[in-house]
Every structure is written in C-alpha cells, then in structure tokens.
Amino acid sequence: MEAGKRNISDIFNRANKLKIPHFQRSYVWQEEQWERFLDDMRYASRANCPYFMGSVILKQQETQVNENNVRTIIDGQQRLTTVMLFFKALFNKNETPEKFQEIFTMFNNNIILEHNYSDKPIFEKILTDQELDAKEKKSQISRCYDYFLKNIEANEINPNNLLSNVLFVGIDLLFNEDEQQIFDTINSLGVRLTTAELLKNYLFRDDIEFYNKNWRDVFEKDDEIKEYWDQEVTSGRSIRNNIDLFLQSYLFIKIQEKDLNVTSDDKERYFKVDSVFNSYKEFIAKYGLVKDLVVSELKEYASVYKNTVNPKIVEQDVNKNDYVQRLNLVMFGLDTATIIPYILYVAKKVTNQDERNKIFRYLEAYLMRRLICKKTTKNYNQLFRSFINNEINTLEKLKELIEMKGEKINYMPSDQDVEEGIKQSDLSNKQAKGILYLIERSIRSNLNSTELKYFDEYSLEHVMPKKWRNNWKDDNLTNEQENDRDDLILTLGNLTLITKQLNSSIRDSDWKTKKAGSGQNHGLVEYAQGIEIFSKYLQRDAWNEDSIKERAQELSKYSIDKVWNLEF
C-alpha cells in the first residue's frame, strides 16, 4: 500500500484506466453537494493555494502484457465523477473543450474513468457530447452536469489553478491487498476526532494544571456541564456537538478583529466548517497569536455562550418578554443556528442589556418575517459574518445595514409582504408550528386557564384536511375552485397547534366530527382548546375558505402589530 498527496493529474493518469465496479451504487450526489463543490472550486481558483478534497482509494488490477493498467475505485467514486463532470462543463463554458480531452482521456482517446453498469452510458454520452434522451436527462449524472453548466460563469474559474492545487489523499493498493479491511479502517465509527478533542491536545500538550483550570473546569467539570457541551445541534446541513459550534463561533468572531488584519482569503479559508481545527492551528501560527491568551479568551466566551445559547429551549417554557429565550427558540426550534456567531458577538460585546434586547428583538423580527415570506436563508452565513466584520453592536447600526439591502436578497420584508406571506405561503410543518407558537406565546393572556406547553409538545394540524375530498366535498365547486382550495388549505390560516396527533379516523372527518371527536377518539375541542389564536373558531358551525381567510387576516394583524412589529 502506498499513500500520499495526489493532484488531479496524478489521479487521472492518462496511462491508467480507472473503473468503478459495476455492482457499486450509482451516482447519488445532489444539488446540496454540487453547490458546495462549486463554491470550493471558486475558492481554490481564487486563492490559488493547496485545497484538499478528501481521500481516494484505488486498487491495482491484474492485467496481461500490453494491456492498459487498470485501477478500480474502492472509495471516492462520487468525488471523482463530480470532478470530471465539473471540468467538462468548465471547459465547455470557457470554450476550450479540447482541454478536457488532453487531461481526462487516455492516450488511446478513451475516457479515463469507466463508470458502473447503470451510469456508464449516460456518463460517456455527456463526456463525448452526445445527445441524451428524455429519460437519461432525469438521471443524477445529467442533472449534475446541467447544474454546473448553469452555474459556472465563463472565465470565473482558472482551471490551471485547480489542476495544480486541488489535492487528494491517494491510497494505492496492490491487487493482492484486502481493500475491505482498508476501507473499514478508514471509515470505522469513532475514528474521527472532534474539533474540541484535537484543539485541547494542541493547546495544552502535557500541561495538566493549565488544562484543568482552563478547559476541564469550563467544559468537563461535571455531568451537567458535559451534557450541555456534548449535546448535538443542527447547524445548516450538519449535526454537530455544541462545543464544536461554540469553537467555530469564537473563531469567526476572532478572525474579524481589525487589529489582526486577517486577509479576506484567509477568512474564507478559516470559515470552512470541515476544517475548524486546521483553521485554528494555521490562524494561531500565521497571525502570531499567543496560545495562553487564546485559551483565556476562549474561557470568557464559553461563559457568555453558555449563558446565552440554549439548544434545549424547545423543551422548556419561553418567557414572551425574554428576547434571548425567544431567539433561542427561533435558532433551535426552526434550525437557524447559522446566526449563533453573531448572537455570541452581541452577547459579549454589547454590555447594555436594553440595547442587547433591542438587537435580539429586531433579529427575531427579521428572521421570522423572512420565514413567513419564504425568503432564502442561503446567504445567512455571509450576512451574519458581515455583521461581525462591520461591528454591528447597536440597533441603529443593525437597522441601517439591513435597510441598505433595499430590494436585494437579504432585505427586511414589509408589513404588506408579511400579510401576503401569511395568506399565501406554503411552509413546512416545523416552520408553521414555530410561527404559530411564537404568535400564541406573544398575544396569550395571563388569564388563560390553560397552560401553554413547551414547543416540542405541540404538533401541527390542517383544520380542513388535505384529503378534504373524502368528507368535505362540495359539489358546487368548479375545478378551478377545487385547485384554489388545495392551495389554501396549506397556508397558515388553516393550521393550528394541537397537543396530540388526531386519530387517523378523525383527521379527515367532516368539521363536526373533527371538532368533537368520535367515541374514544378526541377531536380539536380536546387537543386545540386553550390555544387563543384558534379556540374561538371551535365555536363555529362551519369551517371553509372564508374562515381560513378570516383567520389569516387575524394572524397577519397579530404578526405585524404585536409580535414582529418594527417600532422600537
């Protein structure tokens, strides 16, 4: 076995044939991976420095004299397939298609990579510029290629920078070596150390006393503290330990400090989530940070983080006037943890509690208004980093920066936008539940005899069921009206919080039965009673399009005037 750094030319050696065994799974990467891959290639091209893309395991096959060398791909087929489709699209967009031939075909002009049985015909058609039929165009291979064609801008990426700087950890096996043992060892559970484990070894070495005082007492003192830092948190596309999320947040704040003069390319590199430990190590060395001072500051930020960030808020009561608790519910009930670095920045830097609350209240309004209007969260990472970089530490600065966005992608939705969003937006169950819960929490009277439960104890119910044609059929509806009803029942006006899932026999029943239940199966009167934003509608004899529109208007008024208003 040989292992070492390999660039693209090393992997795609024109003297060697690469083969994906015919029984291996088909190409499965989707837009999420393609988007990230393209972002990485843009960065690697612009920075023009080494960029590692993970490991590739190749196994030499026995061949006859005068036959080409053949290596089967044991691990890395998704990455290598994507690399070839990306470069095919890149050279076509740059109008240099001959370059692809020079790099990714063998000396006999055959394509270097032979795909598995199911994907081989489509893969080869794309790489040889042949027309695909309608069915082939729906394949993941074809969709990947089309994605790159659509999203790569001509001449935005320098292929020469990528060919020299994109690197793999290449592992080459002889034909008689056991690839399964190697594969299992590399991918076995528990092998990968967390950022925290790597970082504490790097920072403390053998200094036990320094470690006990500045790490163990902060992160590992007792079971309760360990549980807090070890709990898993959904952040963007991944699930991570709370301590790793904190360490990343601190790093994002630190690299924005003006007196360190961190270059924009370095900031971008340190921002890569998969290499937080390497980012720390390089950052500390390159910018001359004193480890002991970093440890001391980490300790201070850890205390602020623990007093501010609460992933378990979904299982706890939320005080309607506590804007930290409310924002935690937005972050962890609605998977918006990308804002955590800026929340930590504000909690640490803004000492005036009133000013801090105003910032948090405005942030909640911003996030929830955009959620109601189904505005993209795609740029939130960059946006919240810019808040730190621009030292946005007052409400006035925050409002000014948001208002500067105008009609751009990150703008604050207007009252009219919110009203239209509540009337029309088809949201996920989790999103709709979060909106309704925060409205209920905000407008709920203290005299209400029913206690509001924790966020995670509620489910969401469509009052008029999706399968309304079973028991809610109206023969007077035209086809167009039926389609309009299908759209309307997915909106917020037709949704309510309930404490328990309705029995399937009740869920699609007519309005009367759905309210009261039947036999031992309870209905909405039992499970939605006490929810102020819906309870009065339980007195109605009918629930129809007019009812949904009336309630949507009421929810709009609550949202705009009382819950996420912009008057401070």
Q: Which tens digit of pLDDT belongs to each residue from 23-47?
A: 567 888 999 999 999 999 998 898 8
Distance CA 193, CA 330 (A): 30
Reduce the secondary structure of 40-100 to three states and give it as a string: HHHHHHHHCCCEEEEEEEEEECCCCCCCCEEEEEEECHHHHHHHHHHHHHHHHHCCCHHHH
Quote the pLDDT of residue 232: 87
User: Which residue from 401, 390, 353 is spatially nearest to 253, judged by alpha carbons?
Assistant: 390
Q: Six-digit token pair at 446?
A: 């203290």
The owner of tokens 């499965």 is: 28
Distance CA 509, CA 523 (A): 10
Distance CA 191, CA 476 (A): 64
- Cα 484 to chain centroid distance, Å, stands at 32
Quote the pLDDT of residue 190: 38
Report whether pLDDT(188) > 50.
no
pLDDT in tens, 363-404: 999 999 999 999 999 889 889 999 999 999 999 999 999 988
Quote the pLDDT of residue 447: 81
Distance CA 358, CA 64 (A): 75
3-state secondary structure of 497: strand
Report whether pLDDT(179) > 60.
no
Quote the pLDDT of residue 522: 95
pLDDT exceeding 70 applies to what percent of the chain?
93
Report whether pLDDT(229) > 70.
yes
Distance CA 104, CA 97 (A): 11
What number is the average pLDDT over the span 216-229? Answer: 91
Residue at 423: amino acid letter: K
User: Which residue from 93, 68, 76, 82 is spatially nearest to 151, judged by alpha carbons?
Assistant: 93
Dihedral sign, Cα of residue 345, residue 348, residue 351, residue 352:
positive
Quote the pLDDT of residue 563: 97
Quote the pLDDT of residue 193: 56
Report whether pLDDT(189) > 50.
no
- Residue 299 pLDDT grade (very low, low, confident, very high; cuts 50, 70, 90): very high
Residue 305's CB: how many other CB atoms inside 10 A?
24
**φ, ψ (nearest 5 deg) of residue 130:** -95, 155
Check if the beta carbon of residue 158 is closer than 8 Å to that of residue 2.
Answer: no
**DSSP one-letter code for 396:** H
What number is the average pLDDT over the span 440-467? Answer: 92
Q: Indicate the helix (H) or strand (E) that contains 549.
A: helix 545-557
> What are the b/e assignments for 150-184, b being 16+ CB within 10 Å?
ebbeeeebbbebbeebbbbbbbbbeeeeebeebee
Check if the beta carbon of residue 173 is closer than 8 Å to that of residue 59.
Answer: yes
Distances (CA, A) of 546 to 433, 505, 537, 540, 549: 22, 25, 12, 12, 5
Quote the pLDDT of residue 191: 40
- Residue 406 pLDDT grade (very low, low, confident, very high; cuts 50, 70, 90): low
* Helix, strand, coil share of the chain (percent; to 5): 55, 10, 35
pLDDT in tens, 309-367: 999 999 999 999 999 999 999 999 999 999 999 999 999 999 999 999 999 999 999 99
Query: Where along the chain do its domains lie?
Result: 2-187, 195-412, 418-563
- Residue 482 pLDDT grade (very low, low, confident, very high; cuts 50, 70, 90): very high
Q: When comparing pLDDT for 48 and 22, which is higher? A: 48
The reported pTM is 0.73
Residues shown for the chain: 568
HSE toward the beta carbon, residue 538, CA cutoff 13 A: 21
Quote the pLDDT of residue 436: 98
What are the residues whose beta carbons fall under 8 Å from the beta carbon of 275, sequence distance 6 or more? none
Distance CA 125, CA 85 (A): 11
pLDDT in tens, 491-540: 999 999 999 999 988 999 999 999 999 999 999 999 998 899 999 999 99
Q: Six-digit token pair at 280?
A: 């720390």
Q: When comparing pLDDT for 277 and 437, which is higher? A: 437
End-to-end CA distance of the chain: 66
Q: Six-digit token pair at 203?
A: 């920072």
HSE toward the beta carbon, residue 60, CA cutoff 13 A: 16
Quote the pLDDT of residue 351: 95
What are the residues whose beta carbons fall under 8 Å from the beta carbon of 78, sequence distance 6 or more? 27, 28, 29, 33
pLDDT in tens, 240-260: 889 999 999 999 999 999 999
Report whether pLDDT(239) > 50.
yes
pLDDT in tens, 105-150: 988 888 999 998 778 999 999 999 999 999 899 999 999 999 999 9
Report whether pLDDT(63) > 80.
no
Q: Six-digit token pair at 127?
A: 């790489």
pLDDT exceeding 90 applies to what percent of the chain?
63
Average pLDDT, the chain: 89
Distances (CA, A) of 197 to 10, 193, 234, 272: 33, 6, 20, 18
Report whether pLDDT(1) > 70.
no
DSSP 24-39: SPPP---HHHHHHHHH
